[in-house]
Amino acid sequence: MSQSGEIRLKGVSKSFGDTHAVRDIDLTIANGSYCCLLGPSGCGKTTILRMIAGHETPTSGEITIGGQSVVGLPPVQRGTAMMFQNYALFPHLSVRDNVAFYLKMRGVRKAERRARAGEMLERVQLDHLADRMPAALSGGQQQRVALARALITNPRVLLLDEPLSALDEFLRLRMRSELKSLQNQLGITFVHVTHTQPEAIALADLVVVMDHGEIVQADTPEAIFTRPATPYVARFMGGQNVVTGTVTSAEAGEIRIAGKDGAFVAIDPKGEGAARDATIAFSIRRDRILLTPASGEVAAEPNLVVGSVEEIEYQGSFVKVTMGRDGEPFVVHVPDQVFFATPVAVGDRVAARWQAADTHIIDRPVGAEETFVYAEEVV
Amino acid sequence: MAATGTRRDWSFWVLAIFFGLFVVFLYGPMITIYVLSFQGPTGGLTFPLQGVSLKWFGDLFGQARTGDVGGAFSRSLPLALAVMVLTVLIAVPAGLAFRRNFYGSTLIFYAAIASLIVPGLVLSIGTLVTFNFLGLPARWYTSALGAHLSWTIPFGLLIMFAVISRLPRSYEEAAYDLGASRFQTLMLVIVPIVFPGMIAVALFGFTLSYDEFPRSWLTTGPKNTLPLEIWTMTTNVTSPSLYALGTVTTLISFLVIALAIGSIAIIQRRRLRAGG
C-alpha cells in the first residue's frame, strides 16, 4: 500500500434507483491536504465521502487513493478511516475497548492493544476516562474517542462526516482548531463534510462547493470567497451581494452593466470583455461598500445603490445594514466604529458606493434555469 | 404536596380512584388465588379462610393428586423452552434482515401480522386438520410447537422492530471501517447491542407458550399441557388444590423472569469487569 493519501475521483457517479446523488465528479485531493466538501443537505457531499470510505460503491467511475484503485476494497485496505456523524461509538464497550477495537480485529494481544489504546487516548487527552462507557461522556469527549478510534488504524486518509455539527458553538470552535492542528501534526489527508461555510473557510486548503450532485467550484477558500464561480457559490458562501444586469459596453479592462438599480462598472481582470446585451451576474463583498445617508435626490452615478434601510443588526465588530431592493436585499457590513460615528436608522434613505475593482464578475453567464436552493441568509 | 398547603385538584382524586380500581382488578384476582391456596384443611373454594395450611400444595404432588399436574408440567416446560429458543433463533435474524429492504419484505411482514390476528382456536383446528391430512399424529412437540411458534415469532419480530429502530446502520459501518468481518460485526457489535431485546423476545416466547390455551387446544394430542390440564381441573376438581397449582405456576413464571433479568445483569457486569 502506497503511503500517499492523494485521492482522485474520475467520472464518479452514484445513483440510488432513479435518484442521482452524484453525477460525473472529477476531483483531485492532494496528499496531506485538508479538503472540505461543502453544500446544502442532499447535495451529494456525504455520498462522495462514503464512496471514498468504501461504504458506497460508485455506479460508475474510478476512485484512486495514492494511485491505487480502491473501488471494491474494504476500508482497511484503502488506508482510510471514517469518523461518523453520530460518532457510532459502540455503546456496550468501554472507551478503551472502542479505541482498541481495530487492534482486536487484527488479532493484537490484549495487553498490547490495551497499552496502545491507552497511548492513543492520552493523545486526545482522555486517558483518565478510559474505563467509562460512551454514554457517560459529553458530546465533545465522545468526539475525541471517535477520533482516537479512527486514528489508531494509522490511516493515510481521515474522513470526517459533519464532525462538528453535534457540538455547541463554543466546543465547535475549539474542536475546529484542534482538528486543524491535528491535521498539521499528522500530515495525512483530511476530507471533511460540512454544510457550514465558516467551518470550510477556516479549515480547508481545498473547498469543494457542491450543488445537486455536482461540483460547482473547487478551489482555495480565498478564491471561493473572493472569486465565486457562480451566483450560487456567491450566495452560499455569504458575505456578498449578487446582482444581475445587462452589459451595455465592454472595453479593455472595463465592463459597464445596467441593472435594475442603475449603472455598474466592473474591472475585467481577464480582459476578455463580454458580449453586449449579455446578462451577467456579479458580486460585491458586503464589507467593501461605503454607506452614507442620502438626503434629497442623489444623482445617478456608477457603482451606486440608493435605498432605504430595512433592518439593522449589530454583529459586534460590524453592523449589518440591509437595504430594500426588488427581489433580493442589498446588505452592507459597516465597521462598528464607522456606524456609531454616523448612525443610520430603519427607514432612512442611504446611498451605497463601492470601487469598480471590488465588483467581481461571475464567470458563468446567468441562465434562466439558474436556481438558488439555499435560502438561509449567511452573515 | 398537601403539607405545603396547596389543595389537590379534583382531577387528582378522579385519576387516583381510577388507578386504584385498575390495580385492584389487575392484582385482586391473583392475590385472592394465592391467599386461598393456603386454605386450611377444612376450608373450601371460597373465603373465609379456615386456618392456614400447605395441605393443598401437598395434594398437588402427593398420592391424592387431583390430575396429571406433574406430567402436564413436564410437557409445558420443555415446550415453552423450545418455543423460547426457536423464537429467538428465528425472530432475531428475521428482525435484522428487515433492516435491509429485501424483495418481498412487505409481504412477509403482513403475513406475520396476519397470524397474530387469526383467532387461536381457529388456528388450532386448522393445525389439527392439516396434520390429519398429512397423516401425522398431533403431539405437543410437533403440532403444538408449530402452533405456538406461529404466535410467538410474529411477537418476537415486532419486538425486534422496536429494538432495531434504535440501531443505526453506522454501528455496522464503523465496525467494517475498523476491519471487522461480517461475522465479527454480528457477534461483537450487533448481538451485544441488541442483547436486551433478545432477552425480551425470549421471555415473550416462553410466557406466551407456557400459558397458551387456544393454540394448544387441539394440537397437543392425547396428553395435556399445563393450561389445558388446569382447565380440565376447573371442571372436575373442587378443592383449593386448583389455587395451589395457580400459585406454583406463577412462581415458576417469576423464576424464569428472575433468571432472565439476573443473567442480563451478570453478563453486563462481567463485560464491564473483563474489558478488552
Nearest to A100 among B168, B180, B276 (CB): B276
Contacts of B174 in chain A (CB under 8 A): 82, 84, 88-90, 149
* β-bridge mates for residue B154, sequence order: none
ipTM: 0.82
Tell the residue number behind the cell numbers 371460597, with chain if given: B46
Nearest to A74 among B176, B188, B193 (CB): B176
Q: What residue of B is the nearest CA neighbor of A76?
A: B179
Q: Is A106 in the B-facing interface, judged by CB distances under 8 Å?
A: yes
* pLDDT tens per residue, range B74-101: 888 899 999 999 999 999 999 998 888 7
Contacts of B181 in chain A (CB under 8 A): 105
- Whether A31 contacts A6, CB under 8 Å: yes
Q: How much is the average pLDDT of B241-256?
A: 84
Other C-beta atoms closer than 10 Å to the C-beta of A65 total 25
A87 vs B185: CA distance, rounded Å: 17
Query: Are B179 and A75 a contacting pair at CB < 8 A?
Result: yes
Contacts of B175 in chain A (CB under 8 A): 90, 101
Question: Of A129, A131, A163, nearest to A146 (Cα)?
Answer: A163
Cell of A110: 490484549
Q: Could you tell me how many CB contacts below 8 A there are between chain A and chain B? A: 76
Q: What is the mean pLDDT of chain B?
A: 85
Given a cut of 50, is residue B15 above it in pLDDT? yes
HEC sequence for B145-178: HHHHHHHHHHHHHHHHHHHHCCCCCHHHHHHHHC
Query: Are A97 and B275 a contacting pair at CB < 8 A?
Result: yes
**pLDDT of amino acid B224:** 85
**pLDDT of amino acid A326:** 62
* pLDDT tens per residue, range A332-370: 999 999 999 988 999 888 889 998 888 888 866 655 444
Nearest to A105 among B184, B195, B271 (CB): B184
Task: Calculate Rg over the CA atoms of chain A.
Answer: 25
Q: Is A110 in the B-facing interface, judged by CB distances under 8 Å?
A: yes
| Strands (DSSP E) found in chain A | 7-16, 19-29, 34-38, 60-65, 68-69, 80-83, 157-161, 189-194, 206-211, 214-219, 240-251, 254-259, 262-267, 279-285, 290-293, 304-314, 318-323, 330-335, 349-353, 359-361
Residue partners of A256: CB distance under 8 A and separation at least 6: A247, A248, A249, A250, A263, A264, A265, A302
Q: Is A83 in the B-facing interface, judged by CB distances under 8 Å?
A: no
Given a cut of 90, is residue B263 above it in pLDDT? no
A258 vs A244: CA distance, rounded Å: 9
Q: In what order do the strands lie in the sheet with A34-38?
A: A80-83, A157-161, A189-194, A34-38, A206-211, A214-219
Query: Are B276 and A86 a contacting pair at CB < 8 A?
Result: no
Contacts of A115 in chain B (CB under 8 A): none
Nearest to A53 among B177, B184, B276 (CB): B177
- Whether B188 contacts B177, CB under 8 Å: no
- Whether B83 contacts B205, CB under 8 Å: yes
**pLDDT of amino acid A377:** 40
* β-bridge mates for residue A319, sequence order: A314, A334
Q: Alpha carbon of A11 to those of A7, A14, A47, A49, A213: distances in Å?
A: 13, 10, 14, 15, 12
* pLDDT tens per residue, range B127-183: 999 999 998 888 888 889 999 999 999 999 999 998 888 888 899 999 999 999 999
Q: What residue of A is the nearest CA neighbor of B180?
A: A105
Query: Are B170 and A85 a contacting pair at CB < 8 A?
Result: yes
Q: Is A121 in the B-facing interface, judged by CB distances under 8 Å?
A: no
Best residue in A52, A77, A84, A160 for a mutation probing chain B (most B CBs within 10 Å): A84
A259 vs A261: CA distance, rounded Å: 5
Other C-beta atoms closer than 10 Å to the C-beta of B145 total 19
Q: What residue of B is the nearest CA neighbor of A146?
A: B174
Torsion sign across C-alpha atoms B161, B167, B170, B171 = negative
Amino acid occupying residue A304: L
- Whether B251 contacts B94, CB under 8 Å: no
Low-confidence ranges of chain A (pLDDT < 70): 1-2, 269-273, 325-327, 363-379
Residues 2-21 of A with CB under 8 A from B: none
Q: Is A76 in the B-facing interface, judged by CB distances under 8 Å?
A: yes
**pLDDT of amino acid A365:** 60
Is cis: bond before A58, omega within 30 of 0? no
Other C-beta atoms closer than 10 Å to the C-beta of B74 total 13
Q: What residue of B is the nearest CA neighbor of A112?
A: B276
Q: What residue of A is the nearest CA neighbor of B172?
A: A88
Q: Give ∠ CA A57-A62-A63 in degrees, rounded to 5.
A: 75
Nearest to B177 among A75, A92, A133 (CB): A75
Nearest to A88 among B174, B192, B275 (CB): B174
What is the least distance, in Å, from the CA of B67 to any CA of chain A? 48
Nearest to B168 among A74, A86, A149 (CB): A86
A24 vs A41: CA distance, rounded Å: 19
